[in-house]
Amino acid sequence: MQRDTVTAFVALGANLGDAVGAVRAAMDAIDGLPGTRVVRRSTLYRSAPVDSSGPPYINAVVEVATMLTAPALLQELKAVENRAGRVRPYRNAPRTLDLDILLFGTASVTSASLTVPHPRMDGRAFVLRPLAEIAPQRVAPDALARVRDQDCVPLADPPTG
């Protein structure tokens, strides 16, 4: 039996190494996941670390159409992170790549490994601004207003693809 396609949104971020290259490569890798295709890509954004340290982050959001379940998508995203050299020496450590499921259709998921909608997305400009760019109906204006003072600016060059 074939599963229906679900629209999901994935946040991407990196602040170690070639962060721009890592985020762009991850967008392509997500597009190649089984039963998954990237529908829209946001502009890349530069943001100051939030609850983290190190150099500025490069962030983006992609909209995907996927036939994977939320746990299966998370597993595939973790594999992409691992291939990009992601290590987790401590909570919120600087990273070569971070991929988070923000929204998965209309689903609400709470497990030991996954919470959807993402529990901290509404307080982070580096998530809300790129999400609002590609799916404005998914971001409340008051949520954007609450993060207006956070350092998060689009990069000059548009995303590829």
> pLDDT digits over 87-105, tens only?
665 566 578 899 999 999 9
* Cα–Cα distances in angstroms (integers) from residue 52 to residues 32, 38, 43, 92, 93, in the given order: 30, 28, 22, 5, 6
Specify the amino acid at residue 84: A
pLDDT at 95: 80
What pTM, to 2 d.p., does this model score? 0.90
Q: Which residues are catalytic?
A: 86, 95, 98, 100
pLDDT at 93: 58
Which residues in the chain show pLDDT less than 70? Answer: 1-2, 86-93, 157-161
Q: Domains of the chain, with CATH numbers?
A: 6-154 (3.30.70.560)
* Cβ atoms of 136 and 61 closer than 8 Å: no
Contact assessment for residue 102 and residue 11, using Cβ atoms and an 8 Å cutoff: yes
Burial 72-104 (b: 16+ CB within 10 A, else e): bbbebbeebbeebebeeeeeeebbbbbbbbbbb
Task: Output the pLDDT for position 49.
Answer: 85
